[in-house]
Chain A
Amino acid sequence: MKRNLKIFISIFLVLVLSIVLTACNPVVQSGNLPQGDSRSASGTSDTSAGTKTEQGTDKGSTTREKVTLRFSWWGADTRHQATLAAMELYSERNPNVRIEGEYGAFATFHQKLLTQLAGRTAPDIVSVDYKWTHDLIKQGSPFVNMYELTDKIDMSGFDLNFAKIYGGDDNYLIGLPAGVNGMGYLYNVEFLKKFGIEPHNEWDWETVIENGQKVQAQDSEKHLMYNISEHWVYLVKTMLKQINGNTLLNDDYTLGFSKEDITKVFTYIRRLVETGTVPPFEEGVLYENVYADQNPNWLNQKFGIFPTSSSLIPGIAAASDFELDVFRYPVPKDAVDPGILVTPSMFISIYEYSKYQDIAADFIDFFFNDEEAILILKDTRGVPANEKAKELLVREGLIPKQVADMVSQSLTGAGIAENGPSLNPEVIALLKDYIQQIGFLKITPEEAAEKFMQELEALAATLK
């Protein structure tokens, strides 16, 4: 019957219309409002929803109304729990403020952040990785300039010179660094002992090869070290800095090295492969995107040294059932610049469109300077970049020895900082490609040097 049909269609339309109407809550006017309003639309019992709509930059501490801030970060359980605990402590002390954490894994954080920035829905407090800051700043970084908050946040414990290397410049600072990470060699104590290799802080590149050959001579199935894809890139950059004191690309996007320089580096890479210091690329490339804690060859003691950033040590140590220690990254005696990479673990930034910038600043001040907070957060974000915090943790013995050692070792050889152009992801992808070609022995170092320079120049020109 046509009537049945009509009835059905009308019911369907009514159903649909009602869904749509409840969804398009009139509270939301434009896309510019932060998350709170869309949350009230989906019917959560958020006490903050009703009261905070019209304020400009909130003078939080003076009003008694309830506010909710959002804070995003990446990590695993220990960091999540510690951060949540610190946030709760802050709420205890400031009962009108509630902070909601938006936490998850690192791998997809960047994509999510970009989407949020595009939609103007980023959280009030955002964690930013040092590799992203250059691009973000270049594209009009929507984060509050930390220099303007010196009256609200006690920054005396921070080395702002260090912070601005990756976080901005003399006029703008994207955020405050949470921790310091240094690059170094993490090694399997038993392995080196077994092969008669001496770990000490004066290794240079020839030592690496010699010891690599030593290992291969005794057991052709084992290798001295393994470099993940990320690390090959660091190796190239560090060696270049040691050879000519320059970053890969100059600030004006011109090449920071000569053909001679890069040929030296590429030749060295080939030697590493040919002498068996590192496993053949066919074998090793499988694990080039995971760290030692997920590499069976490390866990089964098939290689002894894993060059790494200090931030990864706790995770790797938890998975390794043998003793670990650290020693300094190789620096030749005649190095122009020692070159070792020392970086901030992450920046804590305030979103420019946050409606609670003052409260956010207050929370950040608490986060970094309050003793109780520091003791709760411990080293979950690396060795603290804030001197006072670091001293406190060291006094309480809360920083694992290897992590502290690697950071201090790296600081004795800290190289000039990476600049934006050298951190560009397309540049890095290009370099990785050439490293692979050399590693798979598909191309000679000289050929690679020439082609790489050509392509890099062309690419850099488009990135300017």
Chain B
Amino acid sequence: MVSRKVLKRSARRDIGSQGYIYILPWIIGFLVFQLYPFIASFVYSFTDFSILKPMSYVGLNNYIKMFTADRLYWKSLSATFKYVLIAVPGKLMFALFIAIILNMKLRFINFFRTVYYLPSILGGSVAISILWRFLFSKDGTVNVLLKALGIPPVDWLGNPNLALGTMGLLVIWQFGSSMVLFLAGLRNIPSELYEAAKVDGAGKVTVFFKITLPMLTPIIFFNLVMQMINAFKEFNAPYLITKGGPLNSTYLYGMMLYENAFAYLKMGYASAQSWILFIIIMLFTALAFKSSPYWTYYEDGGDF
């Protein structure tokens, strides 16, 4: 019988090169397809690149201008933060809640799961912008329903104070992919754990908080980080529905980038703005990662 220590040593396929072989495809891909665009956009941010003309170096001008002389920058940044605070928790909570329900063995559950994933497939469909306007206009469906409850109509997308939230609804409504990930995660929880809990006489709530939730934390973490990154970069929703209005209340950072790059032909400036966004996202992601040992449980013991 070999001692446990020796086993561990030989079982650890570590600090060797096997890992490198497996990630080799990514390394090649990164060097060929991603490094150049990365560096290029960084270089652009210090120039006045405008797509058509040859560029000239402007040093830190773009960065300075962004923070001091761009009338919409801070508005856009704050709208984006607000949006992240609405969309990310909203999406996560809905996705988790629905995933748990859909994890039950109900009849037609396949059909229901497809229905709940449907909005994510509809994605940026042409019909969505038309439909959203319909639902939330003064005589739209939502107001008609409210009328039946005796509430006066609201300008969901016309009122600068409400437009951001309404647009957030569109994104939350597309919680499908987060939900699917939770479903996959729920399925990964070994049934023995539940059986053991039942034997011990644990109630549903205890089971949820002591077994389900902790086992799901890697996925919760993943969804949190990915949704946050995507929310910061969000471009489709404002572009499709409000084009940034009313009164720039939905002028998200992603939209500002797009306009600067392709409408105003200020690609250098847009590159600088994206690098700032990149840094912001990186900071928050790093925060999330730093916090994860405190609340995320991995089967491999957190050993990464």
Q: Taking beta carbons and an 8 Å cutoff, which residues of A are in contact with B? A: 5, 9, 12, 16, 110-111, 114-115, 117-118, 135-136, 139-140, 142, 229, 281-289, 294, 296, 425-426, 429-430, 433, 436-437, 440, 442, 455, 458
Which chain A residues lie closer than 8 Å to B245 at the CB level? 229, 285, 288, 436
Q: Which residues of B contact A16 (CB under 8 A)?
A: 25
Min CB distance A450 to B, Å, is 15
Selected A-B contacts with CB under 8 Å, 25 pairs: A9-B21, A12-B25, A110-B263, A117-B51, A118-B51, A135-B52, A139-B51, A139-B53, A140-B52, A140-B53, A229-B245, A282-B155, A282-B159, A283-B138, A285-B246, A286-B138, A286-B155, A286-B157, A289-B243, A296-B137, A429-B259, A433-B247, A433-B248, A437-B247, A440-B247
Minimum CB–CB distance for B271 against chain A, Å: 13
Q: In the complex the two chains form, is B158's CB within 8 Å of A114's CB?
A: no
Secondary structure dominating the interface of A: helix
CA distance A10 to B31 in the complex (A): 20
Among A229, A286, A458, the residue within 8 A (CB) of B158 is: A286
Task: Please name the residue on chain A nearest to B153 by beta carbon.
Answer: A283
The secondary-structure label for the interface of chain B is: loop
Docked pose: A313 CA to B9 CA in angstroms: 78
B74 at interface by CB-CB < 8 Å? no
Q: Which residues of A contact B52 (CB under 8 A)?
A: 114, 117-118, 135-136, 139-140, 142
Looking at the assembled complex, report how far the CB atom of B127 sits from the nearest CB atom of chain A, in whole angstroms: 12
Q: Could you tell me the distance in whole angstroms from the C-beta of B66 to the nearest C-beta in chain A?
A: 13
A-facing residues in B40-79 (Cβ within 8 Å): 50-53, 69, 71
Contact with A along B212-244 (1 / 0, CB 8 A): 000000000000000000000000000000010
Kindly report which residue of chain A lies nearest to residue B54, judged by CB atoms: A140
Query: Given A118-B52, A136-B52, A442-B247, A283–B158 Cβ distance below 8 Å?
Result: yes
Most buried by A among B130, B134, B157, B247: B247
Determine if B265 is an interface residue (Cβ-Cβ < 8 Å): yes
Q: Which residues of A contact B263 (CB under 8 A)?
A: 110, 425
CA of A277 to CA of B58 in the docked complex: distance in angstroms?
48
Verify if B82 is at the interface (C-beta below 8 Å from A): no
- A136-B52, A440-B160, A440-B246 as given contacts; A287 in contact with B262, CB under 8 Å: no
Q: Which B residues between 257 and 275 are near A, CB-CB below 8 angstroms?
A: 259, 262-265
* Bound CA–CA A5/B20 (angstroms): 13
Q: Are the C-beta atoms of A139 and B265 separated by less than 8 Å?
A: yes
